[in-house]
Structure 1
Amino acid sequence: MRTILVTGTAGFIGFHLATLLLKEGFRVVGFDGMTDYYDVRLKERRHQMLLQNPGFSCKIGMLEDYDTLKTLCDAEKPDVIVHLAAQAGVRYSLENPRAYIESNIVGTFNIMECARELKVDHLLMASTSSVYGANEEMPFVETEKADTQLTIYASTKKAMETMGHSYAHLWNLPTTMFRFFTVYGPWGRPDMALFKFTKGIIEDTPIDIYNNGDMYRDFTYVTDLVKGIRLLIDAVPQRPETPQDVPEGDSISPVAPFRVVNIGNSDKVRLLDYIEAIEEELGKPAIRNYMAMQKGDVPATWANADLLKTLTGYRPETDIREGVKLFVQWYRDYYGK
């Protein structure tokens, strides 16, 4: 039985990935800091559910605490590491940038050190569509240059990518970075748009709509996302023999077993259409508070997911109306509303 260390298992995406891996018979070791960025009770409930499966164990600790992380890795000896834990949230990075440096850069360095020492079969780490920053040519493709990040959050994620490439090159450590595109679904974070919109509409409180709603996002349903991650675990990058051996359209580095992969729905959806889908599912209109564009935000994201399809044979495809319906059902059940 292969052992997979997943950081951030009490988080939104980590919980869903661990659930999928356990169903497939993997042994999953979780690592999570249980920070109070949002309601810790939601995190605790996710872990409680995972702990119902005997194949799951977890350690509570901070990524910045190398000794605790290394002790866990030495004891469990994971075959694969999937690094999802991070200080999340684009807007919070305007208020508390230091948290992003400590968690996303220092913490990720610690993960890479453990992966190097263990010589894991594959290190996979979460990046974000935000690294495309001010790029305007869409859909975003992994092979295009991405050097114009607009927030500290995005900058720390790009730093993770460049550090990952260095370690892949220096230590021949197979590494895959996946860039997420606006993930949503049940058990989501309270700071996410779908969560806030649903709560506001149910409670008859105004919802903030930035850039007067003139925004587009590539909304990706969470179970589609984690299926993509699961399949990428088996798509281990290999260092090309020569730079000429890099296939067209592949982001594989010519000098390292390192690859960047978009995981998105490949569908640019207008924010106002997304809100209308939530209103229809809830059967009531939102009280809309139109606002200017928030600092550091971008008007649109849109993924080209051809590389994911080439590598895994899979492409996310859940329609937003179906995804919104499943989230609203979960929200009403969880909060009794």
Structure 2
Amino acid sequence: MRTALVTGSAGFIGYFLCTRLLDDGFRVIGLDAMTDYYDVKLKQRRQQMLLQNEHFTALNDRIETPDLLKELFSRETPDVVVHLAAQAGVRYSIENPRSYLESNINGTFELLEAARAHPPEHMLLASTSSAYGANTHMPYTETDKADHQMSFYAATKKANENMAHSYAHLFELPITMFRFFTVYGPWGRPDMALFKFTKAILEGKPIDVYNFGDMKRDFTYVEDLVEGIRLLIDAVPVRPAEGVVPEGDSLSPVAPWRVVNIGNSNAVQLTDFIAAIEKATGRAAERNLMPMQPGDVPATWANADLLQELTGYRPKTDVETGVKRFVEWYRAYYEI
């Protein structure tokens, strides 16, 4: 039985990934700080469901705690590590940047040091489409420049990519960074647009629509993202011979490291996303049109060719289907 360590295991994506790994026969160790950035009860419920499987172990602590991860790696010797724990949210990074420094930078450093001392077979670290920043060339391709991040959240994630690359180069640690694009679905985060829009529409309250609705996002259904992560676990990067990288691959010429987009490859207009929520709820939204928020970008759009090349898989759930599943979950969870 292979052992997987998943940080951020009680989070939205972490819950679905742990469930998938358990279904695939992994022993899973989940580490989560259960922070109060959003409703802790939601995290507790996810963790309780995971604990119903005898092969899941939950640890509640902060990844940035010095030597916590090093001791955990030494004790459990994970074969695979998927690092999802982070302070999330573009807008909150303007209000409280220090929490991003502590969790995203210091926490990832502790993880890399633990892996240096006790190397796993493969580490996969979550990055974000926000790393592309001011890049206007779309769809985003992994080999595009990503030098001008628009928020401190995005800057910490790009820093994580660079930190991981240095450790991969110096210590021959196989590392895959995956950039995901506006993930949504059941059990989602309350600070995300789908959750906030659904709540407001069902309560008969107006929704805040930024940039006056002129925004596009590559909405990626959570189970599609998890499928991509699961398949990438077995696509272990190898330092290329003589530094020769195949065309279209983001593999480093000097390290067993690459970055991979996991997105739906479809830029959906925000107004169309809202229309899908209206259809699923059976109610019309009252729109409060607002200017663009600082740190936001007007559009994201993934080129997922590399993911397909490496795994044979491409995300495919359309927005109408995914939104319908979320609204059904929301009504059931909140008994509406």
TM range (shorter): over 0.9
1:118 and 1:236 map into 2 onto residues whose CA distance is 17
Query: In the alignment, what sits opposite 2:119?
Result: 119
| Unaligned residue ranges in structure 1 (runs of 5+) | none
Assess if the C-alpha contact under 8 Å between 1:5 and 1:80 holds in 2.
Answer: yes
User: Deviation of residue 190 (structure 1)?
Assistant: 0.2
Question: Partner of 1:260 in structure 2?
Answer: 259
Q: How does 1:7-46 map to 2 (within 5 A)?
A: 7-46=7-46
Q: What letter matches 2:303 in structure 1?
A: N
Report the equivalent of 2:84: 84
Q: How far does residue 126 in structure 1 lie from its aligned partner after superposition?
A: 0.1
Match of 1:106 in 2: 106
TM-score by length of 2: 0.99
Structure 2: distance between partners of 1:216 and 1:295: 16
**Consecutive aligned runs of 4 or more in structure 1 exceeding 4 Å deviation:** none
Question: Quick one: distance in 2 between partners of 1:141 and 1:257?
Answer: 19
CA separation in 2, counterparts of 1:162 and 1:25? 32
Deviations 1:254-291 (A, max 9, x none): 00000000000000100000000000110110111000
Gaps of 5+ in 2: none
The alpha-carbon deviation at position 116 of structure 1 amounts to 1.4
CA distance in 1, matches of 2:72, 2:61: 10
Structure 1 residue 193: Cα displacement: 0.5
Deviation of 1:156 (Å): 0.0
Report the equivalent of 2:2.
Answer: 2
Q: Is the 8 A contact 1:61 1:69 kept in 2?
A: no
Query: SS at the partner of 2:164?
Result: helix
Shift of the alpha carbon at 1:153?
0.1
3-state SS in 2 of match to 1:178 = strand
3-state SS of the aligned residue for 1:66?
A: coil
Give the Cα–Cα distance (whole angstroms) in 2 for the partners of residues 66 and 183 of structure 1.
Answer: 31
- Following superposition, the deviation at residue 77 of structure 1 comes to 1.1
Q: Does 1:328 align with 2:327?
A: yes
Matches within 5 A, 1:54-73: 54-73=54-73
Please tell me whether the aligned partners of residues 67 and 110 of structure 2 are also in contact (alpha carbons under 8 angstroms).
no
Q: CA deviation at 1:68?
A: 2.4
Please give the per-residue CA displacement for 1:142-162, whole angstroms capped at 9, x wherever unaligned: 001100001000000000000
Query: Residues 23-54 of structure 1: CA distance to partner in whole angstroms, max 9, x if unpaired?
Result: 01000000000000000000000000000000
AA aligned to 2:195 is F
Aligned residues: 336
SS at match of 1:36: coil
Distance 1:269 1:242 in 2: 41
- Kept in 1, the 8 Å contact 2:9–2:30? The answer is yes
Q: Report 1:1-337 matches (<5 A).
A: 1-243=1-243, 245-337=244-336
- Conservation of the 8 A alpha-carbon contact between 1:277 and 1:324: yes
Amino acid aligned to 1:189: R
Residue type of the partner of 1:155? A
User: C-alpha separation between the residues in 1 aligned to 2:61 and 2:317?
Assistant: 34
Deviation at 1:76, TM superposition (A): 1.1
Q: Which amino acid aligns with 1:158?
A: K
For the Cα contact (< 8 Å) 2:30–2:59, is it kept in 1? yes
- Structure 1 residue 117: Cα displacement: 1.1
- Whether the 8 Å contact between 2:70 and 2:115 is mirrored in structure 1 is no
Between the aligned partners of 2:316 and 2:256, the Cα distance in structure 1 is: 29
Asked whether the equivalents of residues 29 and 56 of structure 1 are also in contact (C-alpha less than 8 Å), the reply is: yes
What does the per-residue CA deviation read over 1:299-330, in whole Å, with 9 as the maximum and x for residues that have no partner?
00000000000000000000000000100010
2:89 & 2:192 partners in 1: Cα distance? 8
Q: Distance in 2 between matches of 1:118 and 1:80?
A: 12
Residue type at the aligned position of 2:280:
E
Aligned equivalents of 2:169, 2:204: Cα separation in 1: 53
Using the TM superposition, give the Cα deviation of residue 69 of structure 1 relative to its aligned residue in structure 2, in angstroms. Answer: 2.3
- The answer on whether the counterparts of 1:246 and 1:252 sit within 8 Å (CA) in structure 2 is yes
Partners in 2 of 1:69 and 1:57 — Cα distance?
15
- Secondary structure, counterpart of 1:136 in structure 2: coil
Q: CA shift at 1:249, angstroms?
A: 0.2
Report how far residue 71 of structure 1 moved: 2.2
Residues in 2 aligned to 1:70 and 1:46: alpha-carbon distance in whole angstroms: 26
Q: Work out whether residues 225 and 264 of structure 1, in 8 Å CA contact, stay in contact via their aligned partners in 2.
A: yes
SS across alignment from 1:81: strand
* Contact 1:81–1:115, Cα closer than 8 Å, also in 2: no
CA shift at 1:70, angstroms? 2.2
Secondary structure in structure 1 of the residue aligned to 2:241:
coil
Partner Cα separation in structure 2 for residue 2 and residue 219 of structure 1: 32
* Deviation (angstroms), 1:179: 0.1
Letter in 1 for 2:95: E
Q: Give distance in 2, aligned partners of 1:161 and 1:72.
A: 23
Q: Is the 8 A contact 1:278 1:324 kept in 2?
A: yes
CA drift at 1:66: 2.5
Secondary structure at the counterpart of residue 295 of structure 1: coil
